[in-house]
Every structure is written in C-alpha cells, then in structure tokens.
Chain A
Amino acid sequence: MDEKVRMEIKNMNFYYGTKQALCDINIQVYRNRVTAIIGPSGCGKSTLIRLLNRMNDLIPHARIEGEVLLDGHNIYGPDEDVVDVRRKIGMVFQKPNPFPKSIFENVAYGLRVNGIKDRQYIRRKVEKSIKDAALWGEVKDRLNDSALALSGGQQQRLCIARALAVEPEVLLMDEPASALDPTSTSKIEELIQELKKRYTIIIVTHNMQQAARISDYTAFLMLGQMVEYDLTPKIFTNPAKKVTEDYITGRFG
C-alpha cells in the first residue's frame, strides 16, 4: 500500500502533575485510514486522543513533551493557535453531547463559530453534513426540533455531523459507540467505513472486535506505554509481542 502520513506523534510524554500518564509514544497516522487505539482501562488511550486536538490544554498542571505533527506542522508549536488546531482536528466524544438547541442549530454551530453568515451556505452545509452522517432520512422533517429529543444513536450521528460541518482534516473519536446499543453501534461502524474515504480517522475503543472490524491500523497501549503498533490484521493474527497476544485473546483486560 502506498501510504501518506497525515499525523505523526513523536516521542510524546505526558504528565498529570508529577504522575506520568504517557511514556514515549510514537505513532504515524495515515491519510484516509482508520487508526484504532486499544488497551485496558486506564492505559492512557483517552488521554492520548485528547492530546491530538489539545483538549488536555484545559487540565491544570498537565505537561507535555514531544511533538504532534499535522501535515508536518507541530500543533504544539509556539505559533500554533489552539482554536485553529481544534477546527482542523474534529472530535466526537464518548457520550453523545449535542447542545440543548435544535438539530439544525447543532450542526450550524461550528459554521457560526467560524464566522460564516451566509444563510444559504449554512443551510446547504448543514444538509450535506447530516447526510454524510447518515442521519438525514430520520431528521429531515424535524430540523427545528430539539436535538435532545433524538435517541442516543441519532444524537451521536448528529455529533458526527456537527464535527463534519467544519470540514476537519482529521476526525478523532473517543469510544464513540460505547454508550450505544448494538444497532446504533453497527450504524456508526458502517458510517466510519464510509467516512474514511474522505477523512483520516483515529478511534479509541475498548471493544477489540470493533477495532478488528473497522480499523486499518491498531496501536495497543498499556500502562501509558505503546506496546505495539501495526496493521490491524497483523496485530490480531500475528502480534509481535506476547502481551498483545494475551490481551487480544482476552487473557486480561
């Protein structure tokens, strides 16, 4: 495969106060591929993904070493604007978190944030984003209803639509299906397959079958260290390390 690097995590260390949460992480994320981060609870996978759009900036006493490159630019560089970084790197959270606004306004929010006023454009963009998130058929007649009236699975796809509306270059997903029922989960998984044609996706999951089903690359984290990173089929059929094998065969975790 001819792979192009979109994001690169280089020699990353991360500390909450004096406690080291991540230790010397190196990952290359390829364009139009789904990269999964797996590992037992507390291994630092959520911490890691939140570092990729600087959400951990909000945490006091946190400290980061190393670099995160997006198309060769360090997003932690001195001239980088954090607001700009977060627009370029979208995020979908573990629990669906639509705003207490209408379905339409939820998706339009990101556009308004970026100063877009053209109503025609906003309407078209909202429709396209909801279609891309495979939600249009279910909500097209009630765009002005509250987003909180949707089911959990619909809310999560709305959150994906909201993230897509600002045209991010990379989409981060932090256990996007863990709070959803099996039907909604499979819808989200199908959607991810569709989205990777146009986006680069990084997904955290504690569900190993899910990682095996949807990802092209898998990183296995344990206790803040990256144990192994490789093509997904390789990780799941012929891992290089014994710990990885023990984990994916369910011997612990």
Chain B
Amino acid sequence: MNKDITQKLGFICLSLCALITVFFLGTLIYFIVVRGAGAISWQFLTDVPRKFMTQGGVAPAIVGTFYLTLGSIMIALPLGLACAVYLCEYSPKSVVVNIIRISINNLAGVPSVVFGLFGMAVFVKFLGFGVSILSGCLTLAIMVLPSIISASQESLMAVPQSYREASLALGATQWYTIKKIVVPSALPGILTGVILSVGRVAGETAPILFTAGTFYMRGYPKSIFSEVMALPYHIYALMTEGAHPVAQTKIAYGCALILLILVLTVSTLAIFIRQKQRSMS
C-alpha cells in the first residue's frame, strides 16, 4: 500500500514537471499569436516599412533574417563538420587536440554580444567588409560553430566502430570510409545540431547589432556588402526607438510571431528530413 502511494506520487510529480514545460511553450505561443495575429496581413508580409515604422510591412526584415541564417549556416556547417571529422577520425590523442577541444567548449560559453563586438572589430573594421550581410553571417557563423562542432562530434562518435572496421576490412581507405559510411550514418545527428543552430541564428540580436543590422530600410539589400534588416533586431528597434510606441509595439508582436513561425517551420522541416533519413537506414 505504502509502496503504491510513493509510486503514484512519483508519477504525478514527474508528469507535472513535464506538463509545466508544455504549459510554458503553450502560453508563449498563445500570447504571441494573440498579440501578433492582428498585425499580420498580406501587406505586412510583403511591403517595406512606411511612415517611421508605424505602417507598411516588414518584408525586408524577413528577407534579411533569411539571408543571415542561410549564409551563416553555409559557412558554419562545412567548417564545423570538417573540424569534427578531424577531431574524431584523424587527430591523434595529444595535448594540442585537447587544447582544441577545450577551446571549442569555451567558445560555446562566450556571450553573444561579445561575438558582436569581435565581429565589428575584425570583419567590419579590420577586414573592411563594413556593416553588411557578409560581416553578420561570419559573426553568426563563429557563434554557432561550437554547437555544430559538438553536435557533429557526438554523432560521429555514436557511429559504431564496427562500421569503420567493416569498411576498412574491405579495402576502403580511411577517407572513403568517412565519406561513404561514417558521415552518412552520423547525418541525422548532425542535422539536429543544424536545426538548433538555425533557431539560434535566426533569433539572435546581439551579434548583428554592430555587424549587419540596420533598423530602417526602404528597400532590399543589393549585395552581400549591404546592410540588412532582421526580425529580432527590428523587434528591438521597434521597442526602444521611434516616437509611436503603441503602433510600434503592435508591429513588434507581429514580427515576433513571424519569427516564431519561421523557426518552427525550419525545425519541422529538419525533423521531417531526419525521420526520413532514419527510416531509410
């Protein structure tokens, strides 16, 4: 009897904790949808901002977020994957490798605003890329590099050693084994790392504050050296600047809703791809 009660209590406690998480996500989505849905219209999605950001749309910010996310993942994914392959498959266990590992872990702990300052000093000023999509992508790429590396590393390490041995025993070179067996087997896990990174890149404000973002643009960026609007930065700008707080707040919630939908769509898409990959293997 006593045992049964403990059992039940434990179960209730655990399910309650799980429910609380769902509750937070639920209320967050509900809150954003209720506040933001009113702002969303066809014009809001396709038009440029007008009348000091109180009217018109946020299309340049949507496009900008898309460019920044795509660009930074395109830089960070090959770099991070290559780094993880080197660390997992090639590097001998040595002091240097340990230093590299520790560096990656520390890089993951650097606050994002510090990446912003670094990006401004190096990409914007020193390399002369200016406040631009390129500088923003590079800064964001460095920021997500550690999470892509560690996700890739973990998935590579989870590939059974027996796959590698089977391939080598058939006369495959190490490079062929990595290319055809190890990386494809690790792909679902790597993809998870990329999903998380996409969410982070799309939502970060601090790294693009000084490197890519502009808070008001009448048109669209023309090249990778153009300044760009981005949804998170636009929300920040709407809430802190300008002279029409009521109208601006409404637009800010609209932006938040779009950002949320964007990130959720990417996640769903990636989860879908991952499931497909899994069922194939």
Contacts and interface: CB of A to CB of B under 8 A. Distances in A.
Contacts of A53: 169
Interface string A206-227: 0000000000000000000000
B16 interface: no
B92 interface: yes
Given A60-B92, A93-B165, A101 B281 contact: yes
B166 interface: yes
Interface stretch (B22-30, B76-84, B170-178, B193-201): B170-178
A86 B168 contact: yes
Contact of B171 (A60, A86, A95, A148): A86
Interface stretch (A6-14, A106-114, A236-244): A106-114
A72 to B, nearest CB: 21
A55 interface: yes
Contact of B166 (A88, A99, A112, A148): A99
Contacts of A110: 170-171
A133 B106 CA distance: 52
A83 B172 contact: yes
A99 B181 contact: yes
Given A60-B93, A146-B281, A97 B163 contact: yes
A90 interface: yes
Given A60-B93, A99-B181, A113-B176, A83 B171 contact: yes
Contacts of B168: 55, 58, 86
A166 interface: yes
Given A60-B92, A93-B165, A100 B170 contact: no
Interface residues of B, number: 20
B211 interface: no
Contacts of A101: 281
Nearest to B162: A97
B21 to A, nearest CB: 32
Contacts of B280: 146
A113 B171 contact: yes
B185 A97 contact: no
B168 to A, nearest CB: 6
Nearest to B277: A100
Interface string A2-23: 0000000000000000000000
Contacts of A146: 280-281
Contacts of A45: none
A113 B166 contact: no
Contacts of A83: 171-173
A100 B185 contact: yes
Contacts of A93: 162, 165-166, 169
Interface in B132-189: 160, 162-163, 165-173, 176, 180-181, 185
A223 B21 CA distance: 57
B166 A166 contact: no
A105 B93 CA distance: 34
Given A95-B162, A99-B163, A113 B170 contact: yes
Interface string B255-280: 00000000000000000000000001
Contacts of A163: 169-170
A87 B171 contact: yes
Nearest to B185: A100
A148 B170 contact: no
B131 to A, nearest CB: 46
A109 B177 CA distance: 10
Given A60-B92, A148-B281, A55 B169 contact: yes
Nearest to B177: A113
Nearest to B280: A146
Given A60-B92, A60-B93, A113-B176, A97 B160 contact: yes
Contacts of B163: 97, 99-100
A159 interface: yes
A194 interface: no
A86 B169 contact: yes
A162 interface: yes
Most buried by B among A98, A100, A112: A100
Contacts of A114: 171
Contacts of A162: 166, 170
24 contacts: A53-B169, A58-B168, A60-B92, A60-B93, A86-B168, A90-B169, A90-B170, A91-B169, A93-B165, A93-B169, A97-B165, A99-B163, A99-B167, A100-B163, A100-B281, A101-B281, A109-B172, A110-B170, A113-B167, A114-B171, A146-B281, A159-B166, A163-B170, A166-B171
- Lowest 7 CB-CB distances: which A-B pairs, in order? A87-B171, A100-B281, A97-B162, A110-B170, A91-B169, A113-B172, A97-B166
